[in-house]
Amino acid sequence: MYWRLILLSLAIIGLTLHPRPTQGQGADGSFYTGADLSYLNEMEDCGAVYQEGGRPQDIYGLFAGYGATLVRTRLWHTPTWTDYSTLDDVIRTFSRARDAGMATLLAIHYSDTWADPSHQTIPAAWEDIDEGPDLEAAVYQYTYDVMIALHAEGLAPAFVQIGNEINSGLIKRDDTIGLEWGRDSRLILAGIQAVRDFGQATDSTPQIVLHIAQPENAMGWLIDGEAHGITDFDVIGLSYYPQWSPYTIDEVGQQVDMLRQHFGKEVMIVETAYPWTNDYADSANNILSQELAGYPVSIEGQRQFMLDLTQTLINHQALGVVYWEPAWVSTGCSTPWGRGSHWENATFFDFQHDNELLPVIDFLALRPSATEE
């Protein structure tokens, strides 16, 4: 333990003084399209069937066939309220993504439950760990161990998020306490160093993602983060939901340009979604309902939103776009907040027609043209 604390302290100093160069889209013009499939294993275990042309489909093969190149999934520390989003569940997801030929993105939440701008609750296993070097060492060791465990299965991800929507920081004992840069920056740097050390130990180059909710929040957060030594990462990850952001699609593109130019990093939308209906398949309240001007809540409106957003990101040289939970359909299973799904109206599957595939999936095939590359 003590030697790791010494190395961690030296590494954090080194990260502050010697930021690493960007690795990412670069000269090859790579552009990722994909989906967050964190709920898929649970949905299938609950009996969900996904169809195209009236025939049941394997989601991974289906999405890859339409052009998806990336699968994202979340990792909770030691949840006691669910059997999913655990390390074993991640291995199950990444195995299927690998078999379908898709790259992977791991979103480490550093919590036993949902982490977002309002909730970054410390895992129960860490509640008795002292603030400061001990908690930083826990973040480092956990991150490193997760990466090693995935590597042992041949499943090390191409991208790793250090936290999820970390607008308010990481690992809070009290969710009413907001961002504390002197504390939170050292926790973030501990996670970053663990991934860098893993890469060195395994001769690999996983790309580190820092994930901010809503594009309008990114510039200020990253400027402050830079002032606190957070420079050694590869990708600025953004959530973009028009329901909670004032930005139009064009303004998202402009923000991508500004972020790329100011920080010299790649930019990826790691979460987005749009509803195709406001109807319900169950009694669980739908989360998404508000529409963006020019994009009606309809099957065609959902498709056009994703086509236009993806093309705008390509035009502004973003690294990719990931749709959040397109397979979270309604089943007989429950969430902590209700029976069924809170997202069935924003999936890729029409619950009014036996979960038949919707045309929104067309965005997965979009790529930069030769002139854009």
Please state the length of the chain: 373
Task: Taking residues 127-147, report their average pLDDT.
Answer: 98
Amino acid at 194: A
> Which residue stretches of the chain are H helix?
2-17, 40-45, 59-65, 87-99, 133-152, 181-202, 218-227, 249-263, 299-315
| Confidence (pLDDT) at 370 | 56
For the chain, give the percent of residues with pLDDT over 70.
91
| Among 248, 327, 366, residue whose Cα is nearest residue 35 | 327
Residue 24, pLDDT > 80, answer: no
Token pair for residue 303? 């498709």
Residue 21, pLDDT > 50, answer: no
**317-355 burial, b for 16+ CB within 10 Å, e for fewer?**
bbbbbbbbbbbbbbbeeebeeeebbbbbbbbbbbbeeeb
What is the distance, to the nearest Å, from the Cα of residue 295 to the centroid of all Cα atoms in its chain?
24
Separation CA 304–CA 249 (nearest Å): 11
pLDDT in tens, 41-98: 999 999 999 999 999 999 999 999 999 999 999 999 999 999 999 999 999 999 999 9
Of 12-26, 100-114, 157-171, which range is least confident? Answer: 12-26
Task: Taking residues 187-205, report their average pLDDT.
Answer: 98
Helix, coil or strand: residue 363: helix
pLDDT in tens, 170-193: 999 999 999 999 999 999 999 999
Whole-number average pLDDT of the chain: 92
Residue 373, pLDDT > 80, answer: no
Helix 87-99 and helix 133-152: axis angle, to 10°?
A: 40
Helix, coil or strand: residue 83: coil
Spatial contact of 171 and 120, defined as CB atoms under 8 Å apart? yes
Q: Which residues are the active-site residues? A: 165, 271
| Confidence (pLDDT) at 26 | 37
| Confidence (pLDDT) at 336 | 87
pLDDT in tens, 320-353: 999 999 999 999 999 888 899 999 999 999 999 9
| Confidence (pLDDT) at 6 | 39
Spatial contact of 76 and 126, defined as CB atoms under 8 Å apart? no
CA distances from 259 to 126, 246, 254, 255 (A): 34, 18, 9, 6
| Confidence (pLDDT) at 337 | 86
SS (H, E, C) 309-362: HHHHHHHCCCCEEEEECCCCCCCCCEECCEECCCCHHHCCEEHHHCCEECHHHH
Separation CA 283–CA 24 (nearest Å): 43
User: What pTM was estimated for this model as a whole?
Assistant: 0.92
Spatial contact of 79 and 85, defined as CB atoms under 8 Å apart? yes
Between vectors from CA 107 to CA 362 and to CA 250, what angle results, nearest 5°?
45
Q: Which domains does the chain have, with CATH numbers?
A: 2-6+33-114+129-166+187-365 (3.20.20.80)
